[in-house]
Amino acid sequence: MHHIEQHDKLIRALSRLPGIGRRSAERIALTIAHEKKLLLEPLLNALQGVNDNITTCDCCGVITTFDANPCAICSSSTRDKSIICVVENSDDILTIEKADSFNGVYHTLNGRISPMTGVRPEDLRLKELFERVEKEKISEVILAINTDVEGDATAAYISEKLASLGIKTTRIAFGIPADSGIIYTDPITLKRAFNGRLPATKLNLN
């Protein structure tokens, strides 16, 4: 296909989105060009709405609106402000909130330390976390960071710093998924499930 500058520009912009490779970006760009009324107009509207209304919470980093900053969780009077749950991204917060099992507040890192993709500690919202911990009265920081090599490295980095500040730091236990079985569980998950075990009397879901 001959090159059209604006079209190429859209492909490059789409390729930067998570989970979209070059081929998908090309297909999306072509579909949009063919379906201006059906796809492009609502997309432009939605993007404009995001641009005009959405920001990230100055405190925890979750997405919120300009007129609700700090976010609803940070400004709630019923949440325990002394417990901070650290997550990689905003969508982790939405998932944890759906499970309705945590009543503290959050802190989003916006990623994790990754030497492979060039993400350094200073690229994350770590400075904000350490400032928050020093400024506010925090009794515990819970690390709800994913378990893989980069997640483990990020968790180790944070827990070392927080230990030097004298803050109790825990990491959520990772275990066997509900409705699954031990024979389907990989060795690393099983090992973590053993390490994160609880007294049987505490294993109720409420």
Contacts with Zn ion by CB under 5 A lie at 57, 59-60, 70-71, 74
Q: Please give the Cα distance from 205 to 186 (Å, whole number).
A: 24
Q: How far is the CB of 58 from Zn ion (least distance, A)?
A: 8
Q: What is the DSSP string of 112-159?
A: --BTTTTB-GGGTTHHHHHHHHHHS--SEEEEE---SHHHHHHHHHHH
Q: How far is the CB of 86 from Zn ion (least distance, A)?
A: 13
Q: How far is the CB of 139 from Zn ion (least distance, A)?
A: 19
Q: Which is nearer to Zn ion, 57 or 126 (CB)?
A: 57
Q: How far is the CB of 198 from Zn ion (least distance, A)?
A: 29
Q: Which is nearer to Zn ion, 72 or 190 (CB)?
A: 72
Q: Which is nearer to Zn ion, 57 or 113 (CB)?
A: 57
Cis before 70 (ω within 30): yes
Q: Which is nearer to Zn ion, 70 or 175 (CB)?
A: 70
Contact yes or no for 172/101 (Cβ under 8 A): no
Structure-token match 């990989």, residue found: 186
Q: Which is nearer to Zn ion, 59 or 141 (CB)?
A: 59
| Torsion angle defined by CA atoms of residues 112, 115, 119 and 123, in that order, rounded to the nearest 10 degrees | 90
Q: How far is the CB of 81 from Zn ion (least distance, A)?
A: 11
DSSP designation for 18: T
Q: Please give the Cα distance from 76 to 73 (Å, whole number).
A: 5
Residue 81 amino acid letter: K
| Tokens encoding 30 | 């072509």
Q: How far is the CB of 75 from Zn ion (least distance, A)?
A: 8
Q: Which is nearer to Zn ion, 7 or 125 (CB)?
A: 125
